[in-house]
Chain A
């Protein structure tokens, strides 16, 4: 199997045109609605870009126009209109960006040693990310089970379909999957799909940097803290794992940065509020736990608002940004509500497949319970806190992995430098005390709302930022140079160890030999095949569609193939089911039992084999015979 060169070139060109359109749109929005301060404006631009990507894919998907050539056409057309209408604005923005770049260049020349250090770290992290994106196909269990199959379906059908699936979690909100779709749609191949997390990773780092600046830390110190946060194993591992928690962390930290920017400068109330609301809405449509961690952000927001009203300046919003604010809020509202509205339409429960309880009463759902708790429980709060303090914070169970199984993934820096800094900051650091309380309330609220399970620390990727900020405050306050030097050295060493511990992937590909074997496979053919279905999948022609049966915890994404050439159909067992008829009705010849086939399926297949309708090719794989087809 090869991906033709012309296909890559055309795909790349189309993707570029799509990105140019979205960058232009973001720049136009940005030119009218921003804060005129470098770090937060840079984060804001990135946020606009991600919001535009998400909403563009959503709109095209809902309209049934999710097709690469159509998107390219639309992108080119709208790009030209934007260039004509906003030429002056865009030229002036380009000039501004050039000035900012000049400023950065001068700073690099002025501090060559520090700049070399940052560039060195950026190159190392970049190489690590590149290796993971290029050499590994998606391998994390829940991405294979319910995140990525959606992406494959959307790309295949050209619209946001919700097909029958054995995994009810497939119906959870999926803004991040829309961004992932943007990375695969133009190539019709998933070789870049892990890279969808990288812009969010960057946004999270920019959020911490901007927060540091708003807390009056110097530029280089804020950048160091952002790097320390960026090297946290849980964050690093999740940046290219295809999981959507990195997006949640990025949006949480971005909202925090905007709030603190407001506290610092006290201007443009409306713009700040609109951006905060849109980021929160986008996060709600990415994963519902944004609502759980919101109380902490609200507290921080109130603190920022109260602090600003004790003085400082009152620059007003631009009067002519009304249209942009409306666009932003409407787009965010769509992103924040679409998935819930769809679920309500299909299942009568916006939070499907979770039962939702309000004040002890069942508000939505069938009352059978669900995969997640769907309500507040004191027991969960205490159990999760004790689990964290007594076990997960030590990261005891093997190397770091993206699922964070029985570990926090907060790593070396948080454990040795972050925790004492956190405690000392509560006592001494009046500057960030409310920030710490806000983070703690978010964490407590989250813990009270999610089931105590081994993997729930993946919801807390945003939390280590407070350790970095607390460490930054405590160290910057130290008056004894020697002690300060020791603390910086310690933090640097711990961050280096964090990076070292994240070269592999935790469970799969955790040794160089597994990477070598993976690298030996051509990039176009790389796909993570679970051992139990590997022999079967190798027997099916790449373009041949497939019917399958799987349970709720079987990874079905590899069935599509890396180029999404194979459509797959879930056959839900029911009484009086005629499997041959069902397969013929869908035009498929092959049937695969993913995972452990249950006894009734095996009996059914034996019956069909005896009747001569089907034949067994290898274990778990069956094919309709000529008799069956007729």
Chain B
């Protein structure tokens, strides 16, 4: 932990040192842009790392669609479901069903096909957006429901055969206690750190390349352009007004609610 802390602290201070010791506004701006871009990428990666998916590794005899319903405690709804296309193949294919972050799920309903056919399911697991396995669902937890003719467990596989005239076959699974889809405290896996490191290196290399290109080809225009101070003042005001607009949208009603209620008696 100390080594990590020292490394990150040195990185930040090194960064800031370059920034301030060099009176080169191009370098500063470029570093700031790179920092912002990298920060944004970290945020995206964090979202991926904390977004759960149900990954179904399956083999199907027919072409069709699989659909997963998740119950957030308010019953099963079409809006709380996700679909994935299934192709007939002798190889196993992975179908990913995105799930909501930070929600509590009380049950799943899995519709393997929209018609008749056979499906072999090798694994059902919750994974994050980076493919890291979060939780493996035991096949024995599933129950055959509507329009399922056969439901067998063989060699760690789940074999599902739907009825001949099936149009909405269903498998069901209940979680007791309900499953909380929150992995915000355990997202820092090897996959995540690897991606962050890789992107850090890429951003660093790109920054250096762009800097070299600017230094080489735009040498004359490296001094700050005239009027940059006034420009930054205008920019400051514009950004402030924009942010005011953003905040007003969400907060105006809350802010004036007391006075409004007072005026309305």
Residues of A within 8 A of B (CB): 359-360, 376-380, 382-383, 386, 389-390, 394-396, 398-400, 412, 415-417, 419-421, 424, 427-428, 430, 433, 437, 452, 474, 478-480, 483-484, 486-487, 490, 494, 497, 500-501, 503-504, 510-513
The reply on B74 being an interface residue by CB < 8 A is no
Closest Cβ of chain A to B233, distance in Å, is 5
Query: Known contacts A382-B46, A382-B187; can you find 13 more A-B pairs with CB under 8 A?
Result: A378-B188, A379-B188, A390-B43, A395-B251, A395-B254, A396-B250, A398-B254, A412-B247, A416-B240, A427-B28, A487-B236, A510-B258, A513-B261
CA distance A396 to B188 in the complex (A): 27
Closest Cβ of chain B to A495, distance in Å, is 12
CA distance A513 to B265 in the complex (A): 9
Contact with A along B225-249 (1 / 0, CB 8 A): 0000110111011011101101100
| CB neighbours of B230 from chain A (8 A) | 479-480, 483
- The residue from B185, B234, B254, B262 contacting A512, defined by CB atoms under 8 A apart: B262
Among B20, B240, B259, residue most surrounded by chain A Cβ atoms (within 10 Å): B240
Q: List 7 A-B contacts (CB under 8 A).
A: A383-B185, A396-B250, A399-B257, A416-B243, A483-B233, A490-B244, A511-B261
| CB neighbours of A400 from chain B (8 A) | 254
Are the CB atoms of B237 and A486 closer together than 8 Å?
yes
Contact with A along B21-44 (1 / 0, CB 8 A): 000000010001000000000110
CA distance A360 to B2 in the complex (A): 10
Are the CB atoms of A487 and B261 closer together than 8 Å?
no
CA distance A500 to B255 in the complex (A): 6
Are the CB atoms of B250 and A503 closer together than 8 Å?
no
The reply on B141 being an interface residue by CB < 8 A is no
The chain A residue sitting closest to B229, CB to CB, is: A479
The reply on B218 being an interface residue by CB < 8 A is no
Contact with A along B189-233 (1 / 0, CB 8 A): 000000000000000000000000000000000000000011011
The reply on B176 being an interface residue by CB < 8 A is no
Are the CB atoms of B254 and A424 closer together than 8 Å?
no
Are the CB atoms of B258 and A380 closer together than 8 Å?
no
Among A415, A419, A480, residue most surrounded by chain B Cβ atoms (within 10 Å): A415
Contacts A395-B250, A512-B258 given: A494-B4 contact, CB under 8 Å?
Answer: no
The reply on B152 being an interface residue by CB < 8 A is no
- The residue from A379, A412, A416, A483 contacting B186, defined by CB atoms under 8 A apart: A379
- The residue from A382, A483, A497 contacting B234, defined by CB atoms under 8 A apart: A483
* The 3 nearest A-B residue pairs measured at CB: A416-B244, A501-B255, A420-B239
| CB neighbours of B79 from chain A (8 A) | none
Contacts A420-B240, A480-B230 given: A376-B261 contact, CB under 8 Å?
Answer: no
| CB neighbours of A497 from chain B (8 A) | 255
| CB neighbours of A480 from chain B (8 A) | 230, 233
Are the CB atoms of B240 and A417 closer together than 8 Å?
yes
CA distance A218 to B262 in the complex (A): 39
CA distance A478 to B236 in the complex (A): 10
Closest Cβ of chain B to A361, distance in Å, is 11
Contacts A424-B236, A501-B255 given: A452-B244 contact, CB under 8 Å?
Answer: no
| CB neighbours of A359 from chain B (8 A) | 1-2
| CB neighbours of B239 from chain A (8 A) | 420
The chain B residue sitting closest to A486, CB to CB, is: B237
| CB neighbours of B261 from chain A (8 A) | 511-513
Chain B contact residues (Cβ within 8 angstroms of A): what range? 35 or more
CA distance A438 to B176 in the complex (A): 47
Closest Cβ of chain B to A481, distance in Å, is 11
Are the CB atoms of B1 and A503 closer together than 8 Å?
no
The chain B residue sitting closest to A506, CB to CB, is: B254
Among B244, B256, B258, residue most surrounded by chain A Cβ atoms (within 10 Å): B258
| CB neighbours of B251 from chain A (8 A) | 394-395, 412, 501
| CB neighbours of B188 from chain A (8 A) | 378-379, 382
CA distance A420 to B251 in the complex (A): 19
Are the CB atoms of A376 and B1 closer together than 8 Å?
yes
CA distance A318 to B254 in the complex (A): 54
The reply on B65 being an interface residue by CB < 8 A is no
Contact with A along B162-204 (1 / 0, CB 8 A): 0000000000000000000000111110000000000000000
| CB neighbours of A382 from chain B (8 A) | 42, 46, 187-188
- The residue from A383, A487, A510 contacting B257, defined by CB atoms under 8 A apart: A510
Are the CB atoms of B243 and A452 closer together than 8 Å?
no
Are the CB atoms of A474 and B256 closer together than 8 Å?
no
The reply on B16 being an interface residue by CB < 8 A is yes
| CB neighbours of A513 from chain B (8 A) | 261
| CB neighbours of B5 from chain A (8 A) | 376
CA distance A433 to B17 in the complex (A): 12
CA distance A342 to B224 in the complex (A): 61
Are the CB atoms of B185 and A419 closer together than 8 Å?
no
- The residue from A376, A396, A490, A503 contacting B241, defined by CB atoms under 8 A apart: A490
CA distance A287 to B97 in the complex (A): 45
Are the CB atoms of B185 and A378 closer together than 8 Å?
no
CA distance A428 to B235 in the complex (A): 13
The chain A residue sitting closest to B47, CB to CB, is: A386
| CB neighbours of B255 from chain A (8 A) | 399, 412, 497, 500-501
Are the CB atoms of A421 and B258 closer together than 8 Å?
no
Are the CB atoms of A383 and B32 closer together than 8 Å?
no
Are the CB atoms of B43 and A386 closer together than 8 Å?
yes
| Chain B 41-67 residues near chain A, CB threshold 8 A | 42-43, 46
Closest Cβ of chain B to A445, distance in Å, is 10
Contacts A437-B16, A480-B230 given: A360-B1 contact, CB under 8 Å?
Answer: yes
Are the CB atoms of A474 and B229 closer together than 8 Å?
no
Among B20, B251, B262, residue most surrounded by chain A Cβ atoms (within 10 Å): B251
CA distance A433 to B28 in the complex (A): 14
CA distance A433 to B16 in the complex (A): 10
The chain B residue sitting closest to A498, CB to CB, is: B255
Are the CB atoms of A394 and B28 closer together than 8 Å?
no
| CB neighbours of A386 from chain B (8 A) | 43, 46
CA distance A497 to B42 in the complex (A): 34
Closest Cβ of chain A to B195, distance in Å, is 14
Contacts A379-B184, A452-B185, A500-B255 given: A478-B233 contact, CB under 8 Å?
Answer: yes
Are the CB atoms of B1 and A511 closer together than 8 Å?
no
- The residue from A379, A494, A503 contacting B187, defined by CB atoms under 8 A apart: A379
Closest Cβ of chain B to A486, distance in Å, is 6
CA distance A512 to B256 in the complex (A): 12
CA distance A294 to B259 in the complex (A): 40
The chain B residue sitting closest to A383, CB to CB, is: B184
- The residue from A394, A420, A474, A484 contacting B247, defined by CB atoms under 8 A apart: A394
CA distance A452 to B259 in the complex (A): 34
Are the CB atoms of B241 and A427 closer together than 8 Å?
no
| CB neighbours of A389 from chain B (8 A) | 43
CA distance A297 to B170 in the complex (A): 60
Contacts A386-B43, A417-B240, A511-B261 given: A378-B4 contact, CB under 8 Å?
Answer: yes
Closest Cβ of chain A to B245, distance in Å, is 8
Are the CB atoms of A379 and B234 closer together than 8 Å?
no
The chain A residue sitting closest to B239, CB to CB, is: A420
Contacts A379-B185, A427-B32, A511-B261 given: A399-B254 contact, CB under 8 Å?
Answer: yes
Contacts A378-B188, A380-B185, A452-B184 given: A415-B247 contact, CB under 8 Å?
Answer: yes
Closest Cβ of chain A to B25, distance in Å, is 9
| CB neighbours of B184 from chain A (8 A) | 379, 383, 452
